């Protein structure tokens, strides 16, 4: 098939976007935390995507607000999620959504039922697993985006083994 670059977006202010080539090499990762202006994540994502030629397959983490989260944090998270999706749509990317449970299960990273690990411990474990897999250091904000891009490459509808046809 055509040359495809795989992208993963971990939405939210402390998220990131990552690009992986068909062979599995990480090309680039950009964190959202350096963006301070409203609309900045949309610009960062659009600029990031524009650097790549050929077909682009993008996976974004499917998220929902959880009860008990503050209205302000949910709103700002939703805004950054919307900015990321808007930029991807304008960049003519095929967008797929995957739940955290699904991609973590597919890579064997899901927190065991009844685990006493805190959310922070689990995030650290996911980051460490990425560092082992790609033999490089990551910031915690970067690792989920890299895993999401890798999920697009191996399990997404445009995965490297052919998956289903993009022109659905």
What predicted TM-score, i.e. pTM, was given to this entire model? 0.88
Q: How many CB atoms lie within 10 A of CB 45?
A: 29
Express the helix, strand and coil content of the chain in percent, nearest 5 each. Answer: 40, 20, 40
Quick one: pLDDT at residue 111? Answer: 84
CB distance 60 to 16 below 8 Å:
no
Structure tokens at 36: 């301070």
Express each pLDDT in 76-87 by its tens digit.
888 889 999 999
Positions of the chain with pLDDT under 50? 163-168
Structure tokens at 47: 């600029």
Quick one: pLDDT at residue 10? Answer: 95
């Amino acid at each position: 098939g055509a040359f495809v670059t795989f992208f993963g977006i971990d939405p939210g202010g402390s998220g990131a976007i990552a690009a992986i080539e068909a062979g599995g090499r990480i090309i680039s990762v950009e964190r959202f935390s350096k963006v301070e202006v409203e609309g900045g994540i949309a610009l960062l994502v659009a600029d990031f995507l524009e650097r790549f030629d050929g077909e682009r397959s993008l996976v974004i983490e499917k998220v929902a607000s959880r009860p008990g989260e503050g209205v302000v944090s949910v709103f700002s998270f939703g805004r950054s999620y919307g900015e990321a999706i808007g930029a991807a749509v304008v960049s003519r990317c095929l967008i797929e959504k995957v739940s955290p449970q699904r991609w973590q299960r597919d890579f064997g990273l899901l927190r065991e039922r009844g685990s006493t690990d805190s959310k922070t411990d689990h995030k650290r474990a996911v980051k460490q697993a990425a560092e082992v897999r790609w033999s490089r250091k990551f910031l915690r904000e970067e690792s989920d985006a890299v895993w999401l891009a890798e999920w697009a490459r191996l399990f997404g509808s445009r995965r490297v083994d052919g998956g289903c046809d993009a022109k659905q």
